[in-house]
Protein backbone atom coordinates (compact mmCIF):
# COMPACT_ATOMS: atom_id res chain seq x y z
CA UNK A 1 0.00 0.00 0.00
CA UNK A 2 1.80 3.04 -1.30
CA UNK A 3 0.33 6.34 -0.17
CA UNK A 4 0.86 9.38 -2.39
CA UNK A 5 -0.08 12.72 -0.85
CA UNK A 6 -0.25 16.13 -2.46
CA UNK A 7 0.64 18.69 0.20
CA UNK A 8 -0.29 21.55 -2.18
CA UNK A 9 -3.80 20.20 -2.76
CA UNK A 10 -6.87 21.90 -1.35
CA UNK A 11 -8.07 18.45 -0.30
CA UNK A 12 -7.17 17.84 3.38
CA UNK A 13 -4.47 15.23 4.05
CA UNK A 14 -6.77 13.04 6.18
CA UNK A 15 -9.22 13.11 3.29
CA UNK A 16 -6.62 12.12 0.70
CA UNK A 17 -5.57 9.29 2.99
CA UNK A 18 -9.16 8.08 3.35
CA UNK A 19 -9.65 8.22 -0.42
CA UNK A 20 -6.51 6.21 -1.14
CA UNK A 21 -7.50 3.49 1.30
CA UNK A 22 -10.98 3.34 -0.23
CA UNK A 23 -9.42 3.17 -3.69
CA UNK A 24 -7.17 0.38 -2.43
CA UNK A 25 -10.23 -1.58 -1.33
CA UNK A 26 -12.02 -0.87 -4.61
CA UNK A 27 -9.03 -2.00 -6.67
CA UNK A 28 -8.60 -5.17 -4.65
CA UNK A 29 -5.08 -4.35 -3.49
CA UNK A 30 -6.56 -4.12 0.00
CA UNK A 31 -8.69 -7.15 0.85
CA UNK A 32 -11.08 -7.77 3.75
CA UNK A 33 -9.03 -8.64 6.84
CA UNK A 34 -5.82 -7.10 5.53
CA UNK A 35 -3.92 -5.17 8.21
CA UNK A 36 -3.15 -1.47 7.98
CA UNK A 37 -0.07 0.12 9.56
CA UNK A 38 -0.51 1.55 13.05
CA UNK A 39 -1.28 5.23 13.30
CA UNK A 40 2.27 5.89 14.42
CA UNK A 41 4.09 3.92 11.74
CA UNK A 42 1.78 5.15 8.97
CA UNK A 43 2.36 8.71 10.17
CA UNK A 44 6.14 8.40 10.19
CA UNK A 45 6.14 6.52 6.88
CA UNK A 46 4.40 9.30 4.98
CA UNK A 47 5.80 12.12 7.10
CA UNK A 48 2.67 13.45 8.74
CA UNK A 49 1.31 13.67 12.25
CA UNK A 50 -0.13 10.79 14.25
CA UNK A 51 -3.42 12.59 14.75
CA UNK A 52 -3.95 13.17 11.05
CA UNK A 53 -3.75 9.43 10.44
CA UNK A 54 -5.95 8.79 13.46
CA UNK A 55 -8.60 11.14 12.09
CA UNK A 56 -8.65 9.28 8.77
CA UNK A 57 -8.84 5.90 10.54
CA UNK A 58 -11.59 7.04 12.90
CA UNK A 59 -13.73 8.35 10.04
CA UNK A 60 -13.17 5.17 8.00
CA UNK A 61 -14.22 3.17 11.06
CA UNK A 62 -17.37 5.27 11.48
CA UNK A 63 -18.29 4.62 7.84
CA UNK A 64 -17.59 0.91 8.26
CA UNK A 65 -14.65 0.48 5.88
CA UNK A 66 -12.22 -0.67 8.58
CA UNK A 67 -12.29 -2.23 12.03
CA UNK A 68 -10.08 -1.22 14.92
CA UNK A 69 -9.19 -3.78 17.60
CA UNK A 70 -6.96 -3.31 20.59
CA UNK A 71 -5.44 -6.67 19.81
CA UNK A 72 -5.32 -7.00 16.05
CA UNK A 73 -4.74 -3.34 15.30
CA UNK A 74 -6.41 -1.84 12.23
CA UNK A 75 -7.82 -4.15 9.55
CA UNK A 76 -9.89 -3.74 6.40
CA UNK A 77 -13.54 -4.59 7.16
CA UNK A 78 -13.51 -8.44 7.21
CA UNK A 79 -17.28 -8.85 7.43
CA UNK A 80 -19.81 -7.00 5.30
CA UNK A 81 -18.67 -3.81 3.63
CA UNK A 82 -20.92 -0.78 4.13
CA UNK A 83 -23.81 -0.87 1.67
CA UNK A 84 -26.08 1.62 -0.06
CA UNK A 85 -27.50 3.73 2.76
CA UNK A 86 -29.75 6.74 2.17
CA UNK A 87 -27.09 8.98 3.74
CA UNK A 88 -24.54 7.62 1.29
CA UNK A 89 -26.85 8.19 -1.66
CA UNK A 90 -27.54 11.78 -0.61
CA UNK A 91 -23.88 12.55 -0.13
CA UNK A 92 -22.88 10.88 -3.40
CA UNK A 93 -25.54 12.74 -5.38
CA UNK A 94 -24.58 16.03 -3.76
CA UNK A 95 -20.99 15.56 -4.87
CA UNK A 96 -21.88 14.18 -8.28
CA UNK A 97 -24.35 16.83 -9.38
CA UNK A 98 -21.94 19.80 -9.64
CA UNK A 99 -19.46 17.66 -11.56
CA UNK A 100 -22.06 16.63 -14.12
CA UNK A 101 -23.46 20.16 -14.37
CA UNK A 102 -20.03 21.62 -15.10
CA UNK A 103 -19.34 18.87 -17.65
CA UNK A 104 -22.55 19.84 -19.47
CA UNK A 105 -21.60 23.53 -19.45
CA UNK A 106 -18.21 22.69 -20.94
CA UNK A 107 -19.84 20.86 -23.81
CA UNK A 108 -19.37 17.24 -22.82
CA UNK A 109 -22.10 15.00 -24.27
CA UNK A 110 -23.88 12.45 -22.10
CA UNK A 111 -22.06 9.65 -23.92
CA UNK A 112 -18.66 11.30 -23.41
CA UNK A 113 -19.43 11.67 -19.73
CA UNK A 114 -20.46 8.03 -19.44
CA UNK A 115 -17.28 6.96 -21.23
CA UNK A 116 -15.19 8.89 -18.70
CA UNK A 117 -16.95 7.05 -15.87
CA UNK A 118 -16.45 3.71 -17.66
CA UNK A 119 -12.75 4.40 -18.18
CA UNK A 120 -12.22 5.46 -14.59
CA UNK A 121 -14.16 2.46 -13.31
CA UNK A 122 -11.97 0.11 -15.34
CA UNK A 123 -8.84 1.99 -14.32
CA UNK A 124 -9.69 1.38 -10.66
CA UNK A 125 -10.82 -2.23 -10.88
CA UNK A 126 -7.93 -3.27 -13.12
CA UNK A 127 -5.21 -1.53 -11.12
CA UNK A 128 -5.33 -4.03 -8.32
CA UNK A 129 -5.22 -7.13 -10.50
CA UNK A 130 -1.44 -6.96 -10.83
CA UNK A 131 -0.96 -6.85 -7.08
CA UNK A 132 -2.86 -10.06 -6.36
Q: Give contact residues for DNA (rule: CB under 7 A).
A: 12-15, 37-41, 47-52, 54, 57-58, 61, 68, 70-71, 73-74
d(CA 59, CA 8): 22
d(CA 96, CA 113): 12
Q: Is 7 in the site for its own copies (CB under 8 A)?
A: no
Contact 127, 26 (CB under 8 A): no
Chain-centre distance for alpha carbon 107: 29
Interface residues for its own copies in 28-87 (CB under 8 A)? 65, 81-84
Binding site for its own copies (CB under 8 A): 11, 19, 22-23, 25-27, 65, 81-84, 88, 92-108, 110, 113-114, 116-118, 120-121, 124-125
Amino acid sequence: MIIQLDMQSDVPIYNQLMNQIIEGIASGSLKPGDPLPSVRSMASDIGINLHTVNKAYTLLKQEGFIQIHRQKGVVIQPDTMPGITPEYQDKRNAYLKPIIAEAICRGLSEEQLLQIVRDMHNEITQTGEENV
